[in-house]
Amino acid sequence: MELVVFVLASAMMLVGALGVITRSNPVHAALSLILTLFGVAVHFVALEAYFLAAVQIIVYAGAIVVLFLFVIMLLGVDKAEDLATEPLVAQRWLAGIAGLGLLGLLVVAVSRGVEVLRPRGNGLDTAAQGADGDANIQQLAQSVFGDYVVAFELTSVLLVVAVVGTVMLARRRMAGEA
Amino acid sequence: MIALDPMLEGDVLWTPLLIVVLKVLVVFVVGLVATMLMVWFERKVIAGMQNRIGPNKAGPFGLLQTLADGIKLFFKEDLLPRRSDKFVFALAPFLSLVPAFLAFAIIPLGGDYRDGNDGVVTWFGVETRVQLADPHIGVLFALAISSIAVYGIMLAGWSSGSKYPLLGSVRASAQMVSYEAALGLSLASVILISGTLSTSGIVAAQSTLTDWHVVATGIVPFIIFLIAATAELNRPPFDLVEAEQELVGGFNTEYSSIRFALFFLAEFMNTVTMSALIVTLFFGGPQPISYGGITLDIPLIPNGLEGTIWLLGKVLVFLYVYVWFRATLPRLRYDQLMDLGWKVLIPGSLAWFMLLAAQRLARNEGWNVFTTTAAAVVVLGACYALLQGAFAISNKTREREGAQF
């Protein structure tokens, strides 16, 4: 049963991921991305991380990709791109080399680092969950707001800074034009 | 173990499996019939409010009018605009229909709550709850589904290959993402009070009138949830997605025949689901109303069925409220919509959540609840002043740059 779920979800993710890079229409690519995100959510459910699965759908599939689509529609770039033209010279070659390099690094890291890649942190104690449906969220809250609260708050500060910076950049340009 | 239903613990046997299949069928049929009746109810009530008669030809009191409309739409020609994106155009109605049906699955639809029972009923010798699924993530599932529901409308507008539907879908995406936040934040207060995410758990935590937490969740979070849910459903006064006067017909302008009908099926089904969700979160779901030791009883009805009747009664109140909204409130302007969502509802629900959390912390740590609440109120007042200051500055900047509103 677990194998079937794993294979189906992984197939979903791979089909989606291939769709993201092969579809020439940005809207179709965004739709493929949703398929991938759903696949990840199924994996989370199979790993008994129910809260993460829900958040994955609410935040990524429900908000972030919607914003992608919103920007695509608002800017009117929703036409299929002509793949024959190359806006940046030699970018494909460089992308290919970088991709192969990354693949090589990952293969080496995984094959040599099986011993090192042990679970870090407290992890989710799925055995303790039992019939209590909320144990999952309690453990996660303990982790995020207890053990790693400084890192968590720093991340939120980083996000706020990014938002403020974006607004500042966008506004300054508008004032300059006017 | 994916569900909390007592039926699904241990080995999966044939009887539980059959019960699940039966539940799926019942939920599907009940959903469809409820939608059909909701369309009739809305037309009839709105007709009454506008001093008309409303549908009265098909069947008794015009009850079968929706069925007749549906049959008519099935036989109409299905048009496919030449400039449309064929695949997405065909997909979009289903993307809005499927979430509508999925969300219905987690609503507790009835059960035996009398004499200290917690809603578990026995069918064919198996203990189970009267709801299709009771997942761990509970109400988060409803949030996830309502955030997925935006795709149907959005892609319908985009794939039509025409200006007005596109405008409608751009509005839809911005509106639904904005109000999703308010919806989730007002829900957080309910979860904090009941201490569980599971819908059956939330219902079980509201067994008497005093457990409804009328002050804690029944006023601020409830009103915010009701407004945000109306916006999330794209119902009037938040129906900018299909503002006829501005957008011809909105996102569904290019749709015809049964595809058009599917959007409306989804919309009305979502209205029913949202009303049921409101009842589940704030008003005790299928539990009978009880205060002190007294529980209201419906005579002659077996206890197992009584929950469903209570739920139906409570849901009908909110369905009526939605129709009432539509009949009385004028549509918001777009900037008013965004102001309401981002400047009133989201800060409001966050502030209320903080207040409740402070009180909970004070109780857990043994602090003086009154002092803690007062401190929280002072902090919130300072936050409110800061927010108002920020709004004043942004308004001044906007005026300087020559914005019209």
For residue A122, is pLDDT > 60?
A: no
pLDDT, residue A24, reads 79
pLDDT, residue A78, reads 63
Please report the beta strands in B76-125, taking only residues with DSSP state E, as ranges in sequence order.
120-123
Q: Is B151 on the interface with A (CB under 8 A)?
A: yes
Give B196-227 pLDDT, tens digit per residue.
888 888 887 787 777 777 777 778 888 999 99
Give B351-362 pLDDT, tens digit per residue.
988 888 888 888
Q: Which of B71, B46, B36, B77 is nearest to B265 (CA)?
A: B36
Contacts of A27 in chain B (CB under 8 A): 85, 88, 155, 158
With cut-offs at 50, 70 and 90, classify the pLDDT of residue B151.
confident
Mean pLDDT of B310-318: 87
pLDDT, residue A133, reads 62
Q: Is B154 on the interface with A (CB under 8 A)?
A: yes
Residues B140, A58: C-beta atoms closer than 8 Å: yes
Q: Which of A87, A138, A28 is nearest to B86 (CA)?
A: A28
B293 or A15: whose pLDDT is higher? Answer: A15
Q: Which of B360, B358, B369, B363 is nearest to B195 (CA)?
A: B360
Residues A133, B155: C-beta atoms closer than 8 Å: no
For residue A99, is pLDDT > 70?
A: yes
Contacts of A74 in chain B (CB under 8 A): 170
Mean pLDDT of B313-330: 89
Contacts of A71 in chain B (CB under 8 A): none
Residues A50, B137: C-beta atoms closer than 8 Å: yes
B139 or B246: whose pLDDT is higher? Answer: B139
* Chain A residues with at least one Cβ partner in B under 8 Å: 25, 27-28, 31, 34, 45, 50-51, 53-55, 57-58, 61-63, 66-67, 69-70, 73-74, 78, 131, 133-134, 136-137, 174-175, 178
pLDDT, residue A36, reads 92
The C-alpha angle with vertex B261 and arms to B259 and B262, in degrees rounded to 5, equals 65
Q: Please, which residues have CB within 8 angstroms of residue A109's CB and are 6 or more apart in sequence?
A: none
- The chain-wide mean pLDDT, for chain B, equals 82
pLDDT, residue A156, reads 92
Q: Which of B329, B338, B331 is nearest to B173 (CA)?
A: B338
ipTM (interface predicted TM): 0.77
pLDDT, residue B259, reads 85
Mean pLDDT of B73-92: 83
Residues B136, A62: C-beta atoms closer than 8 Å: no
Q: Nearest C-alpha of chain B: how many angstroms from A134?
A: 6
Residue-range domain boundaries for chain B: 6-332, 335-405
Residue B188 phi, psi dihedral angles, 5° rounding:
-60, -35
Mean pLDDT of B108-127: 70
Q: Which H or E element spans position B68?
A: helix B65-74
**Cα distance between residue A5 and residue B124, in whole Å:** 31
pLDDT, residue A21, reads 85
Residue of A nearest to B179 (CA): A63
For residue A105, is pLDDT > 70?
A: yes
For residue A95, is pLDDT > 50?
A: yes
With cut-offs at 50, 70 and 90, classify the pLDDT of residue B404.
low
Bridge partners of B3, per DSSP, are: B135
CB B325 within 8 A of CB B230: yes
Give A54-80 pLDDT, tens digit per residue.
888 888 888 888 888 888 887 776 666
Contacts of B154 in chain A (CB under 8 A): 66, 69, 73
B84 or B276: whose pLDDT is higher? Answer: B276
Which two structure tokens, joined as six digits, stand for B350? 């966050």
pLDDT, residue A178, reads 44
